[in-house]
């Protein structure tokens, strides 16, 4: 009671606006503190029940915030671990790729070096192979120098002894002058399997024992345009290697054009085409070269299509 009275007595001695002046000064000095004081004042104005409810709500909010922080921290930590793991895997893959690229570059460099060496070797082998093929073709052609190919002779005309038949038939068919020695053939035979009657007869190959007799027979065949056997026209050709025949066949199309233009031409052994134009003879190894000459002749004579 005494204290309360003393407090009242003291308060009564202070000016009426003493508290208001202090509050005004404090507000001017620190507005933020004044706002907090007002909040405190307002909260102090709440009832005890409301204060307890507010404290429970605050606790719940604080608890929820702590739980959320924990969840976020755990999720963030897990994601960071996954990212770090993915980064480590990427580093490992990049390292492996770098090693593989280095190995691939080494292998590619080795292959390029080997390729350069092999390319040079292949070029040399191709030249050598071409030279060897030419020699083989030449040897095969020489081995057939004594041979003559008889085309369109009916099957069975030679009976069972083709050598005897040809030795007696050739001088009469070619109107050859009497020879010092009779024609002697080493052998004669048909080429390929037997054909039916509707198909063209097989060619007949004969080999002369004497090369001079073969030359005489071919010379007589060139002089006589039509060689007949029972009113059937037959032809005699020099027997050549298979490769030479292929090389000669490639000129077939241009030779037809030369015949149409009326130009003299022929084959020079083994497979070169000779063309005479304006009293000048040209030699060709490829049909494309002959075609250029044909085009030039057509331009000169105004025969372009």
The band of 147, judged by pLDDT with boundaries at 50, 70 and 90, is very high
Mean pLDDT for 20-48 is: 49
- The answer to whether 276 touches 269, Cβ cutoff 8 Å, is no
| Residue bearing tokens 């060139």 | 222
Lowest mean pLDDT among 170-174, 181-185, 297-301: 297-301
Length of the chain: 305
| E-strand stretches of the chain | 147-151, 185-190, 204-208, 227-229, 232-238, 264-268, 272-277, 280-284
CA distance 249 to 17: 136
For 47, which DSSP code? -
- The answer to whether 216 touches 174, Cβ cutoff 8 Å, is no
What are 146's two structure tokens? 């004594």
Q: Cα–Cα distances in Å, from 230 out to 155, 157, 190, 200, 242?
A: 13, 10, 19, 16, 30
CA distance 18 to 192: 144
The band of 74, judged by pLDDT with boundaries at 50, 70 and 90, is low
Q: Where are the alpha helices (DSSP H) in 224-277?
A: 242-249, 252-261
pLDDT at 284 over 70: yes
The DSSP bridge partners found for residue 232 are 229
What's the confidence (pLDDT) of residue 214? 93
What's the confidence (pLDDT) of residue 220? 92
Q: CB neighbours of 257 closer than 8 A, spacing ≥ 6?
A: 291, 294
Stronger pLDDT, 156 or 43, i.e. the higher one:
156
The fraction of the chain above a pLDDT of 70, given in percent, is 81
Residue 283's closest CA among 296, 295, 271, 301?
271
The DSSP bridge partners found for residue 147 are 207
Lowest mean pLDDT among 78-87, 135-144, 281-290: 78-87
CA distance 10 to 195: 153
CA distance 94 to 209: 81
Residue 208 zone, left/alpha/beta (φ > 0; ψ -120 to 50; rest): beta
pLDDT at 75 over 80: no
Q: What is the CA radius of gyration of the chain?
A: 59
The band of 57, judged by pLDDT with boundaries at 50, 70 and 90, is confident
Mean pLDDT for 214-220 is: 92
Q: Across the chain, what does the average pLDDT equal?
A: 81
């Amino acid at each position: 009671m005494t204290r309360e009275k003393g407090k009242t007595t003291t308060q009564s001695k202070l000016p009426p606006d003493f508290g208001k002046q202090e509050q005004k000064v404090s507000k001017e000095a620190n507005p933020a503190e004044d706002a907090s004081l007002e909040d405190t004042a307002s909260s102090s104005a709440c009832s005890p029940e409301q204060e307890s409810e507010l404290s429970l709500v605050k606790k719940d909010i604080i608890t929820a915030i702590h739980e959320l922080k924990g969840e976020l921290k755990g999720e963030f930590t897990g994601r960071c671990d996954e990212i770090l793991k993915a980064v480590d895997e990427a580093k490992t893959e990049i390292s492996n790729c770098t090693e593989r690229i280095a190995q691939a570059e080494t292998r590619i460099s080795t292959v390029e070096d080997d390729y350069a060496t092999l390319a040079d070797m292949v070029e040399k082998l191709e030249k050598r192979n071409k030279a060897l093929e030419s020699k083989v073709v030449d040897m095969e052609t020489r081995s057939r120098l004594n041979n003559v190919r008889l085309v369109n002779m009916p099957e069975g005309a030679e009976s069972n002894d083709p050598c005897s038949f040809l030795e007696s038939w050739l001088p009469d068919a070619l109107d050859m002058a009497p020879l010092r020695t009779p024609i002697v053939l080493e052998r004669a035979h048909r080429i390929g399997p037997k054909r039916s009657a509707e198909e063209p007869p097989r060619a007949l190959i004969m080999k002369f024992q004497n090369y001079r007799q073969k030359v005489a027979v071919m010379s007589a065949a060139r002089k006589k345009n039509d060689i007949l056997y029972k009113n059937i026209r037959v032809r005699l050709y020099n027997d050549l290697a298979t490769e030479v025949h292929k090389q000669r066949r490639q000129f077939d199309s241009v030779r037809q054009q030369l015949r149409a233009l009326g130009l003299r031409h022929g084959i020079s052994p083994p497979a070169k085409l000779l063309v005479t134009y304006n009293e000048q003879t040209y030699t060709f190894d490829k049909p494309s070269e002959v075609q250029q000459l044909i085009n030039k002749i057509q331009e000169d004579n105004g025969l372009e299509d």
